[in-house]
Amino acid sequence: FLNICIIAVFQKSHITSVGRQNGVVININTSKGEIVLQGQERDVTRSKADILELLSDIDKHMNEYDKAEAMCKYVQWQFKDGSKWKNTNPMMNMYIEEAHQAKKARVTVKDRSGEEYEIDLKKNEEYEKKNPSKKYEIRRSDVGSRGTDVVGLPERWESGKGNKEVELKPGSGEYEKVKEEFTKKGGPNSIQKIYRVQNPHLYQQYAAKRKSILERNGKNPERWLWHGTSADTIKFIINNGFNRSYCGKNGTAYGNGVYFAVSSSYSVGFCAVDQNGSKHMFSAQVLVGDTCQGQGGMTVLPQKSGGKSYETYDSATDSPSSPNMFIIFHDSQAYPTYHIVFR
């Protein structure tokens, strides 16, 4: 059997149709979080591979929707229907906002029925692709009185728009605090530079997710952890966050997610030396929340034992009683707060 998250009715039908195509009987038990396949070994093996691929696609969609819902908590794109302003759906809202942040002039999005709309961000209007003469006025609405800071950007951040790294001055309180934590957790005392990562869009997604988990669990879900990486992924992480497509670089022994270590000394082993002889590591804020035992091949988190049927764990770990690492499966659950360059 396969451990699975809670899935929707239409997704169940997709999975069972895979079995029918291969002559395999499939039973989905969402209360136990498992899928049972019955049939000839060859047919079951083929069906299992197809279902794993389907579950991976479902998980990616769930992760995207999770990010979209988080974004709705601080910004909402609306269209004018007659005399009333109406909200776009979460996915459309996210794609329009991402285009706005990237300073694009136009973007094409789909509504829930699959209808395509062309969004003109210069003229602030939208229209159906099949009916371009019918135009709607659009606007960007900040949710809350503090606008884009509705979820609270850190006060220490420098002003200015866009994503950037701010080099910390050696001897400053912020620099010394990061250095102390890095060396205290076993990192080498050979730091060259420390940068603060300022990505408002990414941070607001993270903060909205933190608020959601805090409200659900009733306790602080956050831990400061470490993530070693190579120089070629630094810009990607700064601009897009921690993405599971890179998880293979840091192993998959406890699941196919993004790995973070409790000790910087452990993460050093995953830091590749760049052309200048330097290594790179992130000090990250990570929402571990309620964690469970990780397993090889895990692509989604199981539902909580003894909890509500629709609630899943927030992260996985190598050891719930004495964790050395945590694994997350939703990209919005971590923020790359500091980038440390060392030898």
Residue 126 sits in a domain whose CATH number is 3.30.720.50
> How would you list the strands of the sheet with 191-198, edge to edge?
164-167, 191-198, 334-342, 279-287, 222-229, 258-261, 325-328, 315-317, 291-293
The tokens describing 338, both together, are 């500091």
Among 117, 142, 167, give the residue marking a domain's end. Answer: 142
Quote the CA–CA distance of 224 and 263 in Å, as a whole number.
10
Judge if 263 and 329 occupy the same domain. yes
Mark whether 162 and 287 lie in a shared domain: yes
289 shares a domain with 170: yes
Asked if residue 242 and residue 190 are part of one domain, the reply reads yes
In a domain, 104, yes or no: yes
66 belongs to a structural domain? no
Instruction: State how far the Cα of 71 lies from the Cα of 6, in Å rounded to an integer.
Output: 23
Kindly report the three-state secondary structure assignment for every residue of 26-81: EEEECCCCEEEEECCHHHHHHHHHHHHHHHHHHHHHHHHHHHHHHHHCCEEEEEEE
Low-confidence ranges of the chain (pLDDT < 70): 1-10, 30-33, 143-152, 161, 245-251, 307-310
Domain annotation covers residue 67: no
Number of domains in the chain: 3
Domain stop point among 110, 142, 174:
142
The whole-number pLDDT of residue 321 equals: 94
Domain that holds residue 45: 2-61
Let me know if residue 311 belongs to a domain: yes
Do residues 209 and 250 both lie within one domain?
yes
pLDDT attached to residue 150: 45
Pick the last residue of a domain from 100, 124, 142: 142
Same domain, 209 and 241: yes
Flag whether 304 is in a domain: yes
Determine, yes or no, domain membership for 237. Answer: yes
CB atoms within 10 A of CB 318: 18
Q: What is the predicted pLDDT for the residue at 285?
A: 97
Q: How many Cα neighbours within 13 Å face the side chain of 71? A: 27
Considering the domain architecture, whether residues 215 and 87 belong to the same structural domain is answered as no
Based on the domain organization, do 159 and 305 belong to the same domain? yes
Please work out, in degrees rounded to the nearest 5, the angle formed at the alpha carbon of residue 116 by the alpha carbons of 115 and 118: 145
Q: Are 204 and 272 found together in one domain? A: yes
- Give residue 201's pLDDT: 84
27/95 same-domain check: no
Q: Do 199 and 313 lie in a common domain?
A: yes
220 in any annotated domain: yes
Residue 129 domain flag: yes
pLDDT value at position 138? 96
Asked if 169 and 123 sit in the same domain, the reply is no
